[in-house]
Structure 1
Amino acid sequence: MRQVAITGTRSTGHRSLDAYGDLFMTYLGPFADDAHFFIGGASGIDSMALLWLAGNTAAELTVVVPGTVDQQPADARQAIARARDRIKQVVELKATELGTPAYHARNRWMVDHASMTIGFPHAIEPSTGTWQTLDYTAEQRKPRLIVPV
């Protein structure tokens, strides 16, 4: 079974939900039959990919958060709750402070447990957690698929 980390922008308002559904079908769909996805429990791509995968595939799903689920934004908590019956595991890394280091640790945890990363960076945000995750994936000599949104 392939282990796939998903990373992506929180800035998703520039495309329609249907457009993201098409992107997920094209770039996540081919891996979904035999994959375990590790998804950060944040707003934006994380929540959208979680809901799409839960509703459209039989893939195994693990949600990873830097602190606890209760500390996540309301829309992310709602996505996790909606997909709960499809989530195999929720990993709470229990960071004491939810700053950049905690999010980078979460991203590294997902990459370390995955065999590849699929990233959906916002094209105009070159220095973000998404790119940090994709760069870390490359440093680990693991494949990465980059789908600019």
Structure 2
Amino acid sequence: MRAVAITGTRATEHRPRCDYGALFVTYLAPFADGHFYLGGARGIDSLALAWLAENTDARLTVVVPGTAAQQPAEACRAIALAGRRIGDIVELGAAELGRAAYHARNRWMVDHASLTIGFPHSIVPSTGTWQTLDYTAEQGKPRLVVPV
């Protein structure tokens, strides 16, 4: 089974919500027979989780740096709505939810996936999305970049 890590911007308000559905039809649906690892944050993580849960039979795993209860309200709602569609919630148990914890979560997802699909909003290479995409390349794994 193919495993795909999803990474992306938390800033999604600059586009209508329906635009993301169209992007997911084009870039996630072709992999819907596989397993998706999602970060459980607001923005792309929550939007992709909701879309995948509603529109596919893919196996879904949500990965969080600390606990699921520590996630932002938008992410908690997306996790609750996806409910039984989520196969696993992986809580990495970070003591502090800082930059290092989020990077560790992203690396964990890439390490368990065979492909990463990234939805960056910025071309700034220091964002978490780009760091995850670069880590994917360093691991010799393919990455698909879908600018939003």
TM-score, L = length of structure 1: 0.97
Residue 97 of structure 1 aligns to a residue whose secondary structure is coil
Aligned to 1:109, the other structure's residue is in SS state helix
Amino acid at match of 2:40: G
Q: Please report how far the alpha carbon of residue 127 of structure 1 lies from its aligned counterpart in structure 2 after TM superposition.
A: 1.7
Distance 1:21 1:106 in 2: 25
Q: Distance in 1 between matches of 2:46 and 2:137?
A: 24
Alignment of 1:57-136 (within 5 A): 57-136=56-135
Aligned partners of 2:21 and 2:51 also within 8 Å: yes
RMSD of aligned Cα (Å): 0.8
Q: Deviations over 1:33-83 (max 9, x none)?
A: x21000000000000000000000000000000000111001100100100
Q: Deviations over 1:93-117 (max 9, x none)?
A: 0000000000000000000000010
How far is the alpha carbon of 1:88 from its aligned partner? 0.3
Structure 1 residue 84, shift from structure 2 partner: 1.3
Q: For residue 46 of structure 1, what is the amino acid of its counterpart?
A: D
Question: Are 1:43 and 2:27 an aligned pair?
Answer: no
Over 3 Å counting, the alpha-carbon distance change for 1:124 and 1:134 in structure 2 is closer
Deviation (angstroms), 1:125: 4.0
Paired residues of 2:125 and 2:131 also in contact (CA < 8 A): no
Q: Classify the secondary structure of the residue corresponding to 1:118.
A: strand
Which letter does structure 2 place at the counterpart of 1:90?
I
- Structure 2: how far apart are the matches of 1:13 and 1:122? 11
Distance 1:126 1:16 in 2: 25
Distance 2:82 2:59 in 1: 12
Consecutive unaligned residues of structure 1, counting only runs of 5 or more, are none
Q: Quick check: 1:11 aligned with 2:34?
A: no
Name the % identity: 74
Q: Which amino acid aligns with 2:56?
A: T
Residue 126 of structure 1: how far off its partner (Å): 3.4
